Amino acid sequence: MPTSATNNRPEDLIVRLSSPENQTKFKALRELKNQIIGNRTKKLTYVKHGVVVPTVVNSLSSNDSSVVVQASAVIGSFACGVDDGVKAVLDAGAFSLLFGLVSHSDAKVVDAAARSLKMIYQSKLAPKYDFLSTEKMCFLISLLNSEGENLTGLGATIITHSCQINAEQKALCDAGILKKLLDLLEGSLTQRDASLEALAAVFRNNPDGNSVFVEADGGRAFRIVCELTKDKYPRTRLLASMCLIALWNTSPCHPRDVGLRTKLIHILLELLDDPGQVGDEAPFALSSLIVGKEDLQKLAFEADVIDKMSKLLKKDSLQAKRLQGIFLALADVCSKLEVCRAKFLSLEVLKLAAEALNHDCCEVRIAACMCLRSVSRSVKNLSAGVFMNELVMIPLIQLLNDASAAVQVAALSALSNVLVEFTMRKSTFLQYGGVKQLFHLSTSMDSTVRLNAIWSLKNLIFQAENQFKEGIFMELTPSTLWSLISDHEPAVQEQAICFVRNLVDGSVDSIEYIFSEEAIIFHAIVRQLRSASKSEVCIQGMYVLANVATGNEFHKEAVLQQLLPPVGSDDQSVLIKLLQSSDDRLRTATVWTVVNLTFPSSPGAYSRLLKLRNAGVYSQIKNMANDSCLDVKLRVRTALGQSIACVDNST
Amino acid sequence: MSIFWVVRQLAHIQESMATSKKVITKEEWEKKLKDVKIRKEDMNKLVMNFLVTEGYVDAAEKFRTESGTEPDIDLATIMDRMAVKKAVQCGNVEDAIEKVNDLNPEILDTNPQLFFHLQQQRMIELIRNGKIEEALEFAQEELAPRGEENQSFLEELERTVALLAFEDVSNCPVGELLDISQRLKTASEVNAAILTSQSHEKDPKLPSLLKMLIWAQNQLDEKAAYPRINDLTSAHLEDPAV
C-alpha cells in the first residue's frame, strides 16, 4: 500500500507547493488534490490557511502543463460544494487566469481549466457573465460549438448561472443559442443534463423564447424534453421536468395537456425515493410546479402526494435539505384546498411539522412554519382549536425569539393564522406567553418582522371580547400603535390601521380606545387618509371611521369634522376625493361611512346631512347611483334613502 | 437501436399469435425467424458494447481490427478504468482513489456516497492488515466528518468500526465486510461512476437484451406453445411442449 499522504503536516505541503522545482510542485499539488477531493473538512482547513489557495492559483501561470493541470484540478475541488472555497479561489484571482487557459494549446490544460470554471459557476458566488457584450457572446458560442464535453458543459453552466433577466434571455435567443442547446439535448449524457438546466434558465419568465422552443422543428425539441422526463437516469428525469415546469410557469397554455402535468407529478414523486441529490431536489421542483395553482394542487392531491410525503417523513431521519423540500411542497399542496388540509391532519403530519419547528437548520424551521400557515387556513379546524395547543404553540412562540429574522417572519405568518380563533381560546395564547414577544417584534428594525407582528396582533383581537382587546391595546400602548400607523412602510400602516379597525369593532365602549391620549391614534389615521398613496391604507382607514361613526353623537361628530374641510376653506373635502377613487373597495367604504353618519334615528343626523350637502357630498353621491360596482350602488341607495328619511324626521 | 428492434419483432410475433392459440412447430418458427433481419453491424456493435463496458480492452482491440467495429469510447480510458477497478479488487484503495482523481477530479467530489464507500473500504483493508491504530486514526480523521454530514454514512461507519470490537472478525456479525465480495461491490460502484462520468451506460446492453428475451418468452408462454430457448448459452430451440 502506498504511504498515507495524510501523515504529512500541512506546513510541509505548503513549502513544497511554492517550490521552484516543477516536479516537486507537481507532486505537492497532486497530493493536495487527493487530500481535498470529497473532503469538506480538509478543504475548509486549507482555505483557512490563507496562503494555500493563492499559492495554487499562482501555479496556473507555470510553464509546465502538468503543473497547470493539477493546479486547475485543485482549484476546481476547492470551489466544489464549499462557498468559502469559491470565495478564496475568486479572491486569489483564479477566475481570469482560468478563462485565459481555456484557449491554451494543450488540450489537457483546456479540459482541466474548463472543468474548474464549471465548478466555480455552479456556485452563486461566481461573477455574473455578461451576455450583452458581443465579445463575451462570441466566446460563449465558441464554447458551445466546441468538441470537448467540458467546454460545452462550461458554456451551458454559464447560461444556467448567469441568465436571469429578459434582456439576457433575448440576447441569447437572438444569438442562436437556443438552437445550440437543442443540439446538445441529443448529445452525451452530461451534455444533455447541462443543456436541460440551461434551457430552464432561458425559459424562466420568457414567453417569447418559449414559443420559439415549442414550435421549433415542428415541436420536435419539445417532444425530446418530454421524452427525457422518462429517461433511465433520475437526474435527467428531474432536469427535464424542471425544464417543462419553467416553461409552464411562464406560458401556462403551452401545451394544454393536463395528462402531461399529472404524469410529471408522478415522475417527481417517484424521484423522491432517490437517496441522493436528485431526491433532495425533487420536492422543490414539485413545489414550483404547484405553487399558487389550485388545479395542479388538486392533481397532486389525487396523486397521493400527501400520503407519500407523510410516509417519507415518518420513515427515517431525513437530511435537512430534503425535509425542507418536503415541508415546502406540503405547504403548497395545502395552501388552497380544504381536502388537502383534512388529509394532512388525518395523517397526523401536524405533529411532524411541529417537531420540525425545533430543527437545527433554519431553512427547515421556515418550511415547517409555511406548512403550518397553509394548514391553519382551515377555518373548520381553526375553530375546533386544532392548533391552539402545546404541541404547536410552544415551539411556534419560541421561534419568535429566533436569531434569524426570516424564521421570525415565517413563524409570525403561521401564528397570525392560528390566532384568528373564533372561539374563546384566545386567552390560552396569553398563557403561553406569546403576546410579549409580539409586542416586542412590532417595534423591530426589520419592516417585514414589524409587519407580521402587527398582523398577528390584529388577528388576535379579531372578534375578541372587550376586556381582552383592552388588555392587548393598553400593553401595546397607544404611542407604539401611533408609530406603526405612521410607519414608512405602507404595508405596516395598512395592518396597524386594520388593528384599530378590529379594536373599535363591536360595542360603543371599544370606540373610546381611539380617543385615548388626546386621540393621537384617531388623528394619525385621518392624516394617513389625507396623504396615503396606497388605496389599501385608505380602505382600512375609512373602515375605522365607518366603525367609529356607528358610535354615539360625539363619535359621529368627530368623524364628520375630520372629513369635511374647515369652514371658509376652498380645499376639496377628503370625502369627495375618496368618493371619486377608482378603487371599488375604497368607494364602498367611503359611502358606508356616510351611511353611518346619517343614520336617521340618531339626534344629530339632520344637521350632519346639511353639512355634507353643503360640502357637495350628496351631489357626488347622486352621480354614483349607477356605479359600476354593485356594492357601491347598494350603499349609495341606502345613503340617498336615509337622506330623505332625515329630512322627513326633521320636519 | 438494435435491441429494441429485436424485441419489437418478438412482440410482433406475440401479437399475431395472441388470436390463434395453435401450436407453432419448430419449422414454422424457424421460418418466421428467418424473416427477421438483423444487420451484422448491429450485432457487432452489441458485442463491442459488451467488451468495452466490461473492460476487455485486448478483446475489444482485436474485435475492432477483425470486424471493423469502432468502439463508442476511447480504448485508452478503458485501461485507466480497469486499473482503478483492479486496484480496489486488490485492496489498494488509496491507489484507486488517486487514479480516479487523475482521471476526473469531479467524480469523487460530486459523489459523496461513492467517496464514502471507498474510504470505508480503505479502513476495512487497514483492519484486515491488522493496522488497528492506523484504522482508528483514519476513522476519526476521514470517516467521522462524513458521518456527521450524512446519517446513513454514520450507520455504515458504526458497522465498520464494529469490526474492531471482535477478536475473531471472520465470525462476527459484520464479518461480511471483510469478504472479497465487499471489494467487488466497491469496485463495481467505482466502475459504474467512471462510466457514467464518461457519458457511457454503466451496464452492457447484452444482458438486458437477454432479460427482454426471457420476458417476451414468458409473455408468449401464456398464449402459445412454441420452440422456446431454455439454455441461453447454446440458444437451442426446444421442441414445443404440446
In one-letter notation, the amino acid at residue A244 is L
Could you tell me if A387 and A358 are in contact, meaning their C-beta atoms sit under 8 angstroms apart? no
Separation between Cα atoms, residue A260 and residue B172, nearest integer Å: 52
- Average pLDDT for residues A546-553, to the nearest whole number? 92
Q: Say yes or no to pLDDT of A4 above 50.
A: no
- Out of B110, B150, B199, name the one closest to residue A189 (CB): B199
CA distance B142 to chain A (A): 8
Cβ burial A354-384 (10 Å sphere, 16+ → b, else e): bebbebeebbbbbbbbbbbbbbbbbeebbee
**Interval A395-439: pLDDT, tens:** 998 999 899 999 999 999 998 888 887 666 677 777 777 888 899
Separation between Cα atoms, residue A360 and residue A373, nearest integer Å: 20
Q: Torsions phi, psi of B237, nearest 5?
A: -85, 115
Residue numbers in A near B91 (CB within 8 A)? 1
Burial of B133 (0-12, 13-18, 19+ CB in 10 A): exposed
Q: Say yes or no to pLDDT of A3 above 50.
A: no
Measuring CA to CA, which residue among B228, B226, B220 is closest to residue B237?
B228
pLDDT of residue A46: 93
Whether the CA torsion A92, A93, A97, A102 is positive or negative: it is positive
Q: B135 to chain A: nearest residue by CA?
A: A4
- Out of B91, B92, B145, name the one closest to residue A41 (CB): B145
Contact state of A38 with B105 under an 8 Å Cβ cutoff: no
Quick one: residue A205, left, alpha or beta (phi over 0 = left, psi -120 to 50 = alpha)? Answer: left
Contact state of A317 with B101 under an 8 Å Cβ cutoff: no
* A25 contact partners, CB below 8 Å, separation of at least 6: A16, A17, A18, A19, A59, A62, A64, A67
Contact state of A2 with B94 under an 8 Å Cβ cutoff: yes
Separation between Cα atoms, residue A377 and residue A343, nearest integer Å: 14
**Interval A58-87: pLDDT, tens:** 999 999 999 999 999 999 999 998 999 999
Contact state of A191 with B199 under an 8 Å Cβ cutoff: yes
CA torsion B163-B164-B170-B171 (nearest 10°) is -80
pLDDT of residue A254: 62
What are the boundaries of each domain within chain B?
Answer: 2-70+203-221, 75-197
Residue numbers in A near B115 (CB within 8 A)? 37-38
Residue numbers in A near B194 (CB within 8 A)? none
pLDDT of residue A255: 61
Burial of A568 (0-12, 13-18, 19+ CB in 10 A): exposed
The CA-CA-CA angle for residues A540, A542, A544, to 5°, reads 70
- A15: its cell numbers: 513549502
Q: Say yes or no to pLDDT of A6 above 50.
A: no
H or E stretch including A340? Answer: helix A338-346
The 3-state DSSP class for residue A269 equals helix
User: pLDDT band at residue A383, thresholds of 50, 70 and 90?
Assistant: confident
The CA-CA-CA angle for residues B200, B98, A99, to 5°, reads 70
Quick one: residue A163, left, alpha or beta (phi over 0 = left, psi -120 to 50 = alpha)? Answer: beta
The CA-CA-CA angle for residues B123, B124, B130, to 5°, reads 90
**Contact B92/A at CB under 8 A:** yes
pLDDT of residue B6: 55
User: pLDDT band at residue A5, thresholds of 50, 70 and 90?
Assistant: very low
- Average pLDDT for residues A100-128, to the nearest whole number? 93
Separation between Cα atoms, residue A57 and residue A62, nearest integer Å: 10
Contact state of A30 with B150 under an 8 Å Cβ cutoff: no
Contact state of A38 with B109 under an 8 Å Cβ cutoff: yes
Residue numbers in A near B98 (CB within 8 A)? 2, 30, 34
- Percentage with pLDDT > 90 across chain A: 62
pLDDT of residue B102: 94
Instruction: Report B:119-148 residues touching A (Cβ under 8 A).
Output: 119, 125, 129, 134, 138, 141-142, 145
Whether the CA torsion B169, B170, B171, B174 is positive or negative: it is positive
- Average pLDDT for residues A574-584, to the nearest whole number? 91
Q: Bridge-partner residues for B229, per DSSP?
A: B237
Separation between Cα atoms, residue A274 and residue B235, nearest integer Å: 37
Enumerate domains of chain A plus CATH numbers. 1-127 (1.25.10.10), 380-460 (1.25.10)
Could you tell me if A272 and A315 are in contact, meaning their C-beta atoms sit under 8 angstroms apart? no
- A157: its cell numbers: 453552466
Separation between Cα atoms, residue A551 and residue A597, nearest integer Å: 9
The 3-state DSSP class for residue A485 equals helix
Mean pLDDT of chain A: 89
Question: What CA–CA distances, in Å, run from A425 to A99, A436, A503?
Answer: 64, 18, 18
User: pLDDT band at residue A8, thresholds of 50, 70 and 90?
Assistant: low
Q: What share of chain B is helix, strand, coil (3-state, %, to 5)?
A: 75, 0, 25
- ipTM for this model: 0.79
- Out of A37, A190, A319, name the one closest to residue B105 (CB): A37
- B138: its cell numbers: 483514519
Longest dimension (CA), chain A: 113
Quick one: residue A620, left, alpha or beta (phi over 0 = left, psi -120 to 50 = alpha)? Answer: alpha
pLDDT of residue A388: 81
* A130 contact partners, CB below 8 Å, separation of at least 6: A136
Measuring CA to CA, which residue among A243, A171, A167, A166 is closest to residue A206?
A166
Q: Torsions phi, psi of B229, nearest 5?
A: -100, 110
CA distance B131 to chain A (A): 12
pLDDT (tens digit, 0 to 9) for every residue of chain B, 242 residues total? 445 555 666 666 655 555 556 688 888 899 988 999 989 999 999 999 999 988 888 999 999 999 999 988 888 888 999 999 999 999 999 999 999 999 999 999 999 999 999 999 999 999 989 888 999 999 998 898 888 888 788 888 988 988 888 777 777 778 888 888 999 999 999 999 999 888 888 888 999 999 999 999 999 988 888 899 988 888 888 888 76
CA distance B138 to chain A (A): 9
Quick one: residue B184, left, alpha or beta (phi over 0 = left, psi -120 to 50 = alpha)? Answer: alpha
The total number of residues shown for chain B amounts to: 242
Question: What CA–CA distances, in Å, run from B96 to A280, B114, B122, B219?
Answer: 29, 12, 10, 44
- Out of B109, B150, B200, name the one closest to residue A81 (CB): B109
What one-character DSSP code corresponds to residue A61?
Answer: G
Q: Which residues of A make CB contacts under 8 Å with B?
A: 1-2, 4, 6, 30, 33-34, 37-41, 73, 76-77, 80-81, 115, 119, 149, 188-191, 275-276, 316-317, 319
* B40 contact partners, CB below 8 Å, separation of at least 6: none
The 3-state DSSP class for residue B48 equals helix
User: pLDDT band at residue A554, thresholds of 50, 70 and 90?
Assistant: very high
The 3-state DSSP class for residue B237 equals strand
pLDDT of residue A209: 79
What one-character DSSP code corresponds to residue B139?
Answer: I
pLDDT of residue A251: 77
* A535 contact partners, CB below 8 Å, separation of at least 6: A581, A583, A585, A586
Q: B95 to chain A: nearest residue by CA?
A: A2
Determine the distance from the C-alpha atom of residue A554 to the mean position of all C-alpha atoms in its chain, rounded to a whole number.
Answer: 46
Separation between Cα atoms, residue A432 and residue A396, nearest integer Å: 10
CA distance A464 to chain B (A): 47
Burial of B136 (0-12, 13-18, 19+ CB in 10 A): middle
Separation between Cα atoms, residue A243 and residue A238, nearest integer Å: 9
User: pLDDT band at residue A1, thresholds of 50, 70 and 90?
Assistant: very low
Contact state of B105 with A319 under an 8 Å Cβ cutoff: no
